[in-house]
Amino acid sequence: MKATVNEDCIGCGLCESTAPEVFAIGDDGLAHAIEEEVPEAAEDAAQEACDGCPVTAIELD
């Protein structure tokens, strides 16, 4: 599974708190995937973050 955050992110922080192994808020105040390839153990959390993102900025494939 690969994770990316697109330009719609508003920096709410939800994904970082839901899946801290996958997403982090950067110096720009917006979320970024820490590593594009999601660790297998974090896939459920990544999916939960994706589902919960208020602006649908997280893309998983």
Q: Which residues bind ligand SF4 (CB under 6 A)?
A: 5, 9-15, 23, 31, 53-55, 57-58
Q: How far is the CB of 18 from ligand SF4 (least distance, A)?
A: 8
Give CA–CA dist 40/7, Å, rounded.
25
Q: How far is the CB of 47 from ligand SF4 (least distance, A)?
A: 13
Q: Residues 13, 23: contact at Cβ < 8 Å?
A: no
If the CB atoms of residues 37 and 56 are measured against ligand SF4, the closer one turns out to be 56
Q: How far is the CB of 40 from ligand SF4 (least distance, A)?
A: 21
Using alpha carbons, list the distances in angstroms from residue 23 to 1, 27, 38, 44. 14, 13, 10, 13
